[in-house]
Amino acid sequence: MSKHLKFFIDGAWVHPIVPASLDVTDPSTEEPFTTISVGAKADVDLAVAAAKSAFASFSLTDRAERLALLERILEVYNERFEDIAQAVSREMGAPLSFARDAQAWAGRAHLEATIAAFKIFEFTEQRGTTRIVREPIGVCALITPWNWPLNQIVCKVAPAIAAGCTVVLKPSEIAPISGLIFAEVMEAAGTPAGVFNLVNGRGPEVGQVMAGHPDVDMVSFTGSTRAGIIVAKTAADTVKRVAQELGGKSANIILPDADLVTAVSKGVEGCFGNSGQSCDAPTRMLVPADRHDEALQIARQAAEKHKVGDPQAEDTVLGPVVSDIQYNKIQRLIETGIEEGALLVSGGPGRPDGLNRGYYVRPTVFGHVTPDMTIAREEIFGPVLSIMPYDTEEQAIEIANDTVYGLAAYVQSEDIEHARRVAARMRAGSVYLNYPDWDTAAPFGGYKQSGNGREYADWAIHDFLEIKGIVGWGE
């Protein structure tokens, strides 16, 4: 609790310049469990100044020095692994097993992937008599979300350090405690003063100030498309680089030659994971029209296996969603789906039976969803699946791509060549064939209004680099 009221700036834990605080709510009880300080422009100015000062020397460090730092960060992260998992479970309601096996694990896995990529990353190349040099872009403002806190923090901080950049991080004020623990990890790993800084706060008072700050050279933002547009507009005045990972409405095409039971059951699981709070969740399931009713029954049975309840209970599969705002939005969209004529197959409005408090949502499946319905077009960000029938493969591809988003797409087929042909036509940054394991070396990012830039491993390191051509270098 002592550090919850402080920021980490220039290698030290400091109070905000102007005291201000915000309660952090446990979504399983709807009660505050701690309080954080929230910053303002003066705190951002202090953190950016520290990062700018540190950049002068840190940008000149060699690969060996930065690699050693990343390896120390990984070592301390592993020591604090359980603390991180417990914090994520408390602040966002993730079942403890999921907080360990997915949330905290993701931070570890991305550190490992970044380290592996960094060891062989080429910062220079020769093209004739011209030398191509990749150099750190500068001071980076990192704005991360609440739904995968460690995943997104590490996906930004680790490659920025590998590149030789210095950073100011603003974690989500909704789930900030895991970010504060990560700052403790950075401190314990011996990160040089000013290389990593953390300021908590709300988007308008801290995030937008970071995005528009004249001494910030790059903004990396993960969050909603609405907020991403604000960040991009704010950053435009200083013509800085903006990398964004935004919303999604990902389609899951189940081709006629797929095993329907497996494809539908795993599709439900993929949609509902993390209580549906994943930007790349397969929320639109496209099934052959002649097997639509069969798919609905399979989905209903799969949905009913998702026990909703206390995140600390061993048999809980889904915890609450993160906040009252999210809960109310999801309820509104479920009710809209019913009003617009979708068939409610499972779940529906309200809390699950026996849960009278907490932001718990009934795992919900809709059938007979048409492409024009609200639930087929808006990002719901909850455990709500829309199943849509299609008559031909061409129609399925058209429906899948008929969205302003383009973060991910999913294709299921017993014939891998068939799946590959369909994948080639998906307008999405990631396409997943037959539910593969998570690959932390694959590029992650979106087309269209799902953002720009790519994260994970060497893809992320590239985003934090400028490219310099030294013409006349010689052979």
- Exposure of 56 by Cβ count < 10 A (0-12 exposed, 13-18 middle, 19+ buried)? exposed
Which entry of 91, 112, 173, 245 is annotated as an active-site residue? Answer: 245
Ramachandran angles phi, psi of 27, nearest 5°: -70, -15
β 430-433/408-412 pair status: parallel
Q: How far is CA 158 from the centre of its chain?
A: 15
Determine if residue 164 is left, alpha or beta; phi over 0 gives left, psi from -120 to 50 gives alpha, anything else beta.
left
Active-site annotation holds for 245: yes
Active-site annotation holds for 294: no
β-pair partners for 134: 467
Half-sphere exposure of 292 (CA within 13 A, CB side): 17
β 343-346/364-367 pair status: antiparallel
Helix H or strand E segment including 410: strand 408-412
Number of H helices, E strands in the chain: 16, 20
Q: Where are the alpha helices (DSSP H) in 251-342?
A: 260-272, 292-303, 324-339
Half-sphere exposure of 87 (CA within 13 A, CB side): 23
Which entry of 140, 155, 271, 279 is annotated as an active-site residue? Answer: 279
DSSP secondary structure string, 231-266? HHHHHHTTT-EEEEE-----EEEE-TTS-HHHHHHH
Which residue shows structure tokens 């809980």? 316
DSSP secondary structure string, 186-201? HHHTTPPTTTEEE---
Give the contacts of 43 (CB within 8 A, at least 6 positions apart).
7, 9, 16, 17, 199, 201, 206
Query: CA separation (Å) from 420 to 266, 389, 401, 468?
Result: 19, 21, 16, 37
β-pair partners for 165: none
List active site positions.
245, 279
